[in-house]
């Protein structure tokens, strides 16, 4: 399908004050990180650990789906943004590999879960047409972007994270916000359609939900001596109850189905400016200048 038949021929709407630039952080996770680092809750901590296990392979899938179309992009600004997106996703993978090793050291079945994710990606996603793979990436990037926005907006969520884990997730949220429209803009330029992106939003959401739930249950089972019905119920309510972390995102998720939707319809670039300078001070010394720390 030609670019002329695409849903929207706009190539990039990233605000001028947003720079998509890779930043290595070199986070380390040692015995100062509590096992239950999110609100002292086994359920919530295992759930976030499960998300982290998904990231390295998932982000490699994102990179591959965008890189395939890089030579078809004519807009110089979008080309530069694609390069930044690829670099940022590579850094995310490195940092979450380090976190996942920490989870593995707690006797969690990380290798088994990674194997199951690999089967899904290789047996299903990678067999789809390339533009369908890009549509999946667009859908998942929308979900990571809306979760990133929630994390940066809600101090109650950030403050429930232990101080040794909070910088990783805030940094990741900043960069997901910076590049939240790159895959969408590429998808539009190469002829992506409304039907494709809507269909794969439903498919991707379903698969992400199933895999996250399965990974979480496997970790809870491995740590069953710490299982608590009360903790699990409280965690589920925190995620899906009134003003829950996930339930509050439903309106944003639905916005993706608007025919004229674009990720930067919601310009939250001010959140990047609010957190960026402080979070860079949490990088390992070889990756940063200065030593300011005031993240909250």
CB 12 within 8 A of CB 178: no
- Residue-wise pLDDT tens digits, 26-84: 999 999 999 999 999 999 999 999 999 999 999 999 999 999 999 999 999 999 999 99
pTM given for the model: 0.92
Check residue 179 and give its pLDDT.
98
Mean of the per-residue pLDDT values for the chain?
93
In the chain, the percentage of residues whose pLDDT exceeds 90 is 91
| Banded model confidence at residue 8, pLDDT cuts 50, 70, 90 | very low
Cα–Cα dist 157/149, whole Å: 11
Check residue 6 and give its pLDDT.
43
Check residue 288 and give its pLDDT.
76
Closest CA to 13 of 275, 254, 267: 267
Residue 273 reports pLDDT greater than 60: yes
**Distance in angstroms between the alpha carbons of the first and the last residue of the chain:** 47
CB 219 within 8 A of CB 154: no
- Residue-wise pLDDT tens digits, 92-122: 999 999 999 999 999 999 999 999 999 999 9
SS3 content of the chain, % helix, strand, coil (to 5): 70, 0, 30
């Amino acid at each position: 399908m030609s670019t002329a038949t695409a849903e929207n021929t706009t190539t990039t709407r990233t605000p001028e004050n947003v720079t998509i630039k890779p930043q290595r952080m070199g986070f380390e996770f040692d015995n100062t990180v509590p096992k239950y680092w999110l609100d002292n809750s086994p359920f919530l901590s295992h759930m976030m650990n499960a998300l982290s296990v998904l990231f390295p392979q998932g982000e490699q899938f994102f990179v591959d789906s965008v890189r395939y179309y890089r030579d078809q992009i004519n807009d110089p600004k979008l080309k530069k943004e694609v390069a930044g997106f690829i670099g940022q996703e590579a850094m995310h993978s490195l940092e979450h590999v380090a976190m996942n090793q920490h989870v593995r050291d707690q006797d969690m079945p990380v290798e088994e879960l990674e194997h199951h994710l690999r089967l899904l990606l290789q047996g299903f996603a990678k067999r789809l047409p390339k533009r369908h793979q890009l549509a999946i990436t667009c859908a998942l990037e929308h979900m990571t972007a809306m979760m990133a926005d929630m994390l940066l907006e809600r101090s109650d969520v950030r403050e429930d994270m232990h101080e040794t884990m909070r910088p990783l997730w805030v940094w990741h949220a900043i960069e997901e916000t910076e590049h939240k429209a790159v895959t969408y803009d590429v998808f539009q330029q190469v002829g992506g359609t409304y039907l494709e992106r809507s269909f794969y939003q439903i498919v991707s959401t379903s698969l992400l939900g199933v895999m996250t739930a399965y990974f979480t249950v496997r970790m809870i089972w491995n740590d069953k001596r710490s299982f608590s019905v009360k903790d699990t119920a409280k965690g589920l309510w925190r995620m899906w109850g009134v003003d829950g972390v996930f339930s509050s995102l439903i309106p944003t998720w639905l916005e993706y189905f608007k025919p004229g939707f674009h990720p930067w319809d919601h310009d939250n670039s001010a959140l990047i400016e609010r957190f960026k300078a402080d979070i860079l001070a949490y990088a390992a010394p070889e990756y940063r200048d200065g030593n300011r720390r005031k993240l909250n």
